Amino acid sequence: MSKRLLFIINPRSGKGQIKEHLADILDIMIKAGYQVSVHITQAGGDATDQTIKQAENFDRIVCSGGDGTLDEVVTGMMQLPEPKRKPIG
């Protein structure tokens, strides 16, 4: 059974450099045994909303963006009820 991973991406961050490497990044995640779902953020607050809505369906959440994207994902994780928070590792 593969592990499920949600990859939240802000494609506008870092001059959009993620676009050049996305296939390689996804390949690494898949080869590590993850079933990867990608969410491309659409507006401010979207990463927080998606984290809250989808966290319970995934074993891992990974984000790519700037400080704001990371802050939104962490904010979403902190808003989850305790039992839904999973330790990393």
Q: What would you report as the CA-atom Rg of the chain, rounded to the nearest whole angstrom?
A: 13
pLDDT at res. 81: 84
In this structure, which amino acid lies at residue 63?
C
Q: What is the pTM of this model?
A: 0.87
DSSP secondary structure letters along 2-31? PEEEEEEE-TTGGGGTHHHHHHHHHHHHHH
Sign (positive/negative) of CA torsion 14, 59, 55, 5? positive
> Residue 19 phi/psi, 5° resolution?
-60, -35
Residue 52 burial (CB < 10 Å; 0-12/13-18/19+)?
middle
Per domain, the residue ranges of the chain are 3-84
Q: Domain spanning 3-84: which superfamily? A: Probable inorganic polyphosphate/atp-NAD kinase; domain 1 (3.40.50.10330)
- The pLDDT tens digits of the residues spanning 19-77 come to 888 999 999 999 999 999 999 999 999 999 999 999 999 999 999 999 999 999 999 99
